[in-house]
Structure 1
């Protein structure tokens, strides 16, 4: 099986299903038009960002031999990356994003805070920043840590920013986040395991630590979890009234400081 055939069989159907579900949810009488306008606009930005941000990292790890593609499995490459990989990035982002919007649309949000919002924001932001720093050491100092370390280094700062902005909201929305992530990420894990079994792509045993989950390298599982988490977090934050209030209040507070400045 080629990479293109894999996309047609395993990525196109869930994308089509989530697109139809999103269309139905958006046209529902109970749908919030503002939620869908905001959500789809943010999803479009995330779609573009997935290409821009992931491409340099993907090219680097392919160059380092973390991922390899047997001859005849891909159509062509751009920046060392198979063209099909770009389609995979887009399909994953859209599938996760549309399903997340469906889950958000049926889950009422609350603007009520829970305790001191600055503490979880600082705690989780600092934790992801530390993970990125640890990833730097793993990627540069340990060959077997190339995949995991570079992943933490590359995506950790984005998760840091998300948590600094709204870790309190992400905590309070953990149920909708879990229901958004688990079905899609679980499916991607199964599809990835099948692709590895069919030798569509290969994962280096010297650039990974070795443990697997039913044959799926744990680094691969972490990759799909982290990248999907970025999409879900971004949409939850963008659609939540508390974050919208926080963003709107920030310019007002700056203007007030200017007015009262000596």
Structure 2
């Protein structure tokens, strides 16, 4: 695939990839990129943190938790590289918790959120993801396909597809008792909010209580009132919904208007 890129539109994370001529997902070798920039990657058990950066202005060590999944480790490496690229002239030691590295933390105006954005753009660069999903629905089926190709988490991939979508899309994570978090794109109406709990009539409820991790529902229409609250929600047409089981008591759901 020949890419035509306007480099002035690339984010810092994308520019780092582009300077190495990366134009396919399998070329995103974070260990090699880190090594070329003077950073050594180590994997070991960490207490109270998912990742740690010890750095000077010219070199450093990123330690990531060996207990984390491959996808989590890659995001952690990208996150700490984001810190180093931004702060490499100050020399610092940094500990990043699971909350700091949560993909949904991208909305906060903090250095941790900026490092998260850098990591997301490094692992799921829009200049590579965009062409792959341009003609596809922002369904969980597409999320799982892209996540596998880019070796990224389902949460981070769903957020990337949400941001690239040209239609209103919301991403939500639910436990059995409550909504854990949600994000929606700029096309989403500001007066409509995700429901606080999974509706008992939705197939996603069966998935939440009876499904196995990795299992998913069909991409299908459901009444908007099952998933949304707010002004004029009762007057909305059906929405398209698809969920995947993340863990024993958590699902990730995509809702499209």
Same fold, judged at TM 0.5 (above): no
Give the TM-score category using the shorter length: under 0.3
The normalised TM-score by structure 2 is: 0.22
Structure number with larger C-alpha Rg:
1
Larger RCO of the pair (alpha carbons < 8 Å, separation 6+): 1
| Greater helix share, structure number | 1
